[in-house]
């Protein structure tokens, strides 16, 4: 069960200073954060804000300077992420690029790919989305059918990706696609590859899907004979499954897996300051937040050490999702929605509707628990 072990990490040197700098930056922008924006958390998409974050050097901040990074540590980056989430800043335009597309390109990309993409992600120019799910492939991802055929001068892409967050607003997608048929009777993971898709390319058709809040958050993206250049391939042909899986430690490990509802908790704290009866329930939330933060920082420390904490990340995501997902209901037990101040009521309304997604995105609760069960030796 070594994969379920966590070692505490101390704050990096200069943590308080960095945090203060991020807070000062956020205080400047906070007047623009409506309750809905704060409630959206990392699902808020704002190019201008992202460019401002990029100008501060806080996107891709662990990457080498030659690729637009700041060569800071994972623990320092974690501080920036925490502050952005705690404030409910609209970080969606760079979140995916910073969290996983960039690190993937840095780790496996060609020199040209690194030179082209990383500085543009770091400046906020390029927004990335993830191309994993398909209409018939969700948790059973290896059953995906979108395929890229090798043709003269590159690849021809056909198929369809769905539930792509901000696909309609993004510039690039890293898609997991089939580049050769799965061996007869063999593992379906074989023959998958990751490719860079320019979402403005001819043959890419993006259809926004309205979510239950009435917003166009996610999309269905179809590819009809989309021509990709040869260098669209990221990493090794056929190694896409392993690449995508190891990317998941980045995708699942961050504070975005327990802080998505945080602005509502702060609003509840402020509103219920004088409410003696609310103290015990608030105390439990505080304790859980504190414990989750210690776990999350421990995972950031493992990434810093170059480990691959896939299992710990799944575990913290599972516990964190439970916490952030339960919060709206915890809060409405303490104060009736009609008694909430306007701002809080709006955040609460949005989160009530959207929290079911927390234990879906990035891998469902059931998949997370399956990963833990495997580590326990049950599968």
Partner 1 sequence: MASEIATELAEQVDRALADAADVSTLRDLEAGNWPAATWDALVALGLNGALVPEAAGGVGLGFSDVAPLMEVLGRHAAPVPLAESIFANALLSAAGITPPEGVISFGAGQGAIAWGRHASHIALLDGARIALYPAAALAWEVGGNIAHEARDRARIIGAPVAEAVLPNGWGAEAALLATALMRAGQIAGAMQAALALAVDHANTRKQFGRPIGRFQAVQQQLAVFAAETSAASVAAAAAARAVDRRGLAAAAFEIGCAKITVGEAATRGAAIAHQVFAAMGITEEHQLHHFTRRLWSWREEGGSEAFWAKRIGQEAQALPGALWPFITAREEEITP
In contact, 72 and 21? CB cutoff 8 Å: no
Q: Hey, which residues between 85 and 124 contact partner 1 (CB under 8 A)?
A: 86
In contact, 226 and 197? CB cutoff 8 Å: yes
- Quick check: is 251 catalytic? yes
Strand, coil or helix: 101:
helix
Residue found under tokens 């089939």: 178
Is 2 near partner 1 (CB under 8 A)?
Answer: no
Which span (217-225, 240-248, 277-285, 350-358) binds partner 1, by CB under 8 A? 277-285
Is 71 near partner 1 (CB under 8 A)?
Answer: no
Instruction: Give the tokens for residue 169.
Output: 């607003």
CB closer to partner 1, 212 vs 269: 269
Query: 256, 260, 271, 253: which is closest to 327 by C-alpha?
Result: 260
Is 161 near partner 1 (CB under 8 A)?
Answer: no
Q: Which of 116, 216, 293, 345 binds partner 1 (CB under 8 A)?
A: 293
Which span (178-186, 221-229, 245-253, 272-280) binds partner 1, by CB under 8 A? 272-280
Query: 263, 257, 277: which is closest to 346 by C-alpha?
Result: 263
Is 265 near partner 1 (CB under 8 A)?
Answer: yes
Residue 176 CB, nearest approach to partner 1 (Å) = 25
Using the 8-state DSSP alphabet, how is residue 114 labeled?
A: H
Q: Which of 169, 295, 331, 344 binds partner 1 (CB under 8 A)?
A: 295
CB closer to partner 1, 119 vs 309: 309
Identify the bridge partners of residue 166 per DSSP, sorted by sequence position.
none
List, in order, residues 6 or more apart from 23 with CB less than 8 Å away: 83, 87
Q: Which of 125, 134, 256, 318 binds partner 1 (CB under 8 A)?
A: 318
Residue 107 CB, nearest approach to partner 1 (Å) = 27
Is 27 near partner 1 (CB under 8 A)?
Answer: no
Please report which helix (H) or strand (E) contains residue 225, including its range.
Answer: strand 216-229
Is 379 near partner 1 (CB under 8 A)?
Answer: yes
What's the gap between Cα 104 and its chain centre? 13
Q: Which of 111, 200, 274, 338 binds partner 1 (CB under 8 A)?
A: 274
Is 278 near partner 1 (CB under 8 A)?
Answer: yes
Is 287 near partner 1 (CB under 8 A)?
Answer: yes
Q: Which of 46, 82, 134, 251 binds partner 1 (CB under 8 A)?
A: 82
Identify the bridge partners of residue 204 per DSSP, sorted by sequence position.
223
Q: How far apart are the first and last CA of the chain?
A: 13
- In 305-359, which residue ranges form alpha helices assigned H by DSSP? 310-334, 342-354
CB closer to partner 1, 276 vs 336: 276
CA dist list (Å): 211 to 33, 46, 370 = 21, 19, 28
Query: 11, 35, 48, 16: which is closest to 87 by C-alpha?
Result: 35
Residue found under tokens 């993006």: 206
Q: Out of 251, 266, 324, 338, pick the active-site residue.
A: 251
Instruction: Give the tokens for residue 322.
Output: 């439970």
Is 279 near partner 1 (CB under 8 A)?
Answer: yes
Residue 349 CB, nearest approach to partner 1 (Å) = 22
Is 139 near partner 1 (CB under 8 A)?
Answer: no
What is the residue-wise DSSP string for 16-38? HHHHHHHHHHHHHHGGG--HHHH
Is 10 near partner 1 (CB under 8 A)?
Answer: yes
Residue 318 CB, nearest approach to partner 1 (Å) = 6
Q: Which residues bind partner 1 (CB under 8 A)?
A: 1, 4-8, 10-11, 15-16, 19, 23, 82, 86, 262, 265-266, 269-270, 272-276, 278-284, 286-295, 298, 312, 315, 318-319, 366, 368-370, 372-373, 375-379
**Residues assigned a catalytic role:** 251
């Amino acid at each position: 069960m070594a994969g379920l072990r966590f070692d505490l990490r101390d704050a990096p040197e200069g943590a308080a200073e960095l945090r203060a700098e991020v807070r000062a930056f956020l205080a400047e922008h906070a007047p623009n954060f409506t309750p809905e924006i704060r409630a959206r958390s990392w699902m808020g998409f704002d190019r201008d804000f992202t460019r401002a974050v990029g100008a501060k050097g806080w996107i891709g901040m662990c990457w080498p300077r030659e690729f637009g990074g700041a060569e800071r540590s994972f623990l320092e980056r974690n501080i920036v992420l925490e502050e952005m989430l705690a404030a409910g800043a609209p970080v969606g335009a760079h979140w995916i690029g910073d969290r996983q597309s960039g690190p993937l390109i840095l780790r496996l990309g060609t020199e040209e790919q690194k030179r082209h993409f990383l500085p543009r992600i770091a400046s906020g120019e390029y927004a990335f989305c993830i191309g994993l799910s398909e209409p018939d492939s969700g948790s059973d991802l290896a059953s995906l059918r979108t395929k890229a055929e090798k043709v003269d001068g590159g690849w021809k892409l056909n198929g369809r990706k769905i539930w792509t967050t901000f696909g309609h607003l993004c510039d690039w997608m890293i898609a997991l696609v089939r580049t050769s048929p799965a061996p007869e009777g063999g593992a379906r993971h074989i023959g998958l590859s990751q490719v860079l898709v320019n979402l403005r390319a001819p043959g890419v058709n993006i259809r926004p899907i309205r979510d239950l809040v009435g917003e166009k958050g996610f999309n269905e993206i179809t590819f009809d004979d989309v021509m990709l250049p040869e260098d669209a391939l990221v990493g090794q042909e056929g190694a896409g499954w392993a690449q995508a899986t190891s990317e998941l430690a980045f995708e699942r490990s961050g504070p975005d897996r327990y802080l998505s509802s945080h602005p509502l908790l702060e609003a509840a704290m402020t509103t219920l300051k004088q409410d003696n009866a609310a103290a015990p329930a608030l105390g439990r939330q505080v304790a859980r937040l504190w414990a989750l933060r210690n776990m999350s920082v421990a995972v950031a420390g493992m990434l810093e050490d170059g480990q691959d904490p896939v299992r710990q990340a799944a575990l913290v995501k599972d516990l964190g999702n439970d916490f952030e997902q339960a919060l709206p209901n915890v809060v409405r037990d303490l104060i009736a929605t009609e008694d909430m101040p306007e701002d809080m009521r709006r955040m609460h309304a949005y989160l009530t509707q959207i929290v079911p997604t927390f234990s879906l995105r990035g891998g469902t609760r059931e998949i997370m628990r399956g990963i833990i069960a495997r580590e326990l030796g049950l599968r």
